Chain A
């Protein structure tokens, strides 16, 4: 599918802010996948399922999209510093080409129960800064 033919709905999850997209870099052996998922989920208002797609970062230069290390702003401070990346200097065409790359990839679902377990474990490890978490999410996890 050419970029121009990508359905507009596919761009819904690729909403850039200041021409940047926040992403998480997962190791090839997925060793830090749960860290990235917990970081993403900890930044929400309440518990919910989480859908994700893994994109090979080797495809980015061909678009071309720059990927740079940057601090995330989630309650998972260690993840913010090590796993977070920004896709920068995005244009409409680059986002459409990114969507084109992603549209054929498998979308993986993490159920709300699994998200809850990841967050409870992260909280127990002291990995999450409670002061940065939404009060509703925190109360759901501590109930």
Chain B
């Protein structure tokens, strides 16, 4: 899947090898898939654009059983050395729609050195905060 993605075209909103194949792989055995993906993403064994696409898709997948594992991967990837990968992690967390990730995202915003990525991560924080229904400050809940 990753090799196919690297040789193919990855464009926002368009079908590619990752968004075509990853959901089925996660549904089949998310533990094995996530265990295999983490070192690839963290050790830079694929390109940042492919890693970012994997992270975006991990957030998009609707699979309750793997929710926590996927959130764990996404939060870890916020500390990637590559801005593109950190951005992908933020986009994945936005799609995951879990306000529980807000503290990790806030820390990422505080330490982010790339101004554009910092602004993009802040958008994710703001959107996830909007998901909290009763208007209670996020800091009190998470």
**Does B123 contact A50, Cβ atoms closer than 8 Å?**
no
B79 neighbours in A (Cβ, 8 Å): none
B95 neighbours in A (Cβ, 8 Å): 112
Scan residues 71-118 of chain B and give those whose CB is less than 8 A from a CB of chain A: 91, 94-95, 116
Q: Which residue of B lies closest to A113 (CB)?
A: B127
B123 neighbours in A (Cβ, 8 Å): 109, 111
In the complex, whether B14 has a CB less than 8 A from a CB of chain A is yes
Interface size class of B (residues with CB under 8 A): 10 to 19
A107 neighbours in B (Cβ, 8 Å): 116
What's the count of A-B pairs with C-beta under 8 Å?
A: 33
Name the contact of A45 in the complex, choosing from B15, B91, B120 (C-beta under 8 A).
B15
**Does A49 contact B91, Cβ atoms closer than 8 Å?**
yes
A111 to B56, CA, bound (A): 13
Interface size class of A (residues with CB under 8 A): 10 to 19
**Does A44 contact B13, Cβ atoms closer than 8 Å?**
yes
With A109-B120, A111-B94 already in contact, the answer to whether A50 and B127 are too (CB < 8 A) is no
19 residue pairs bridging A and B, Cβ less than 8 Å apart: A41-B13, A44-B12, A46-B13, A46-B19, A48-B12, A48-B13, A48-B56, A49-B91, A50-B12, A50-B13, A51-B12, A107-B116, A109-B119, A111-B123, A111-B124, A112-B91, A112-B94, A113-B127, A137-B13
**3 pairs of A and B residues whose beta carbons are closest in the complex:** A44-B13, A48-B13, A48-B12
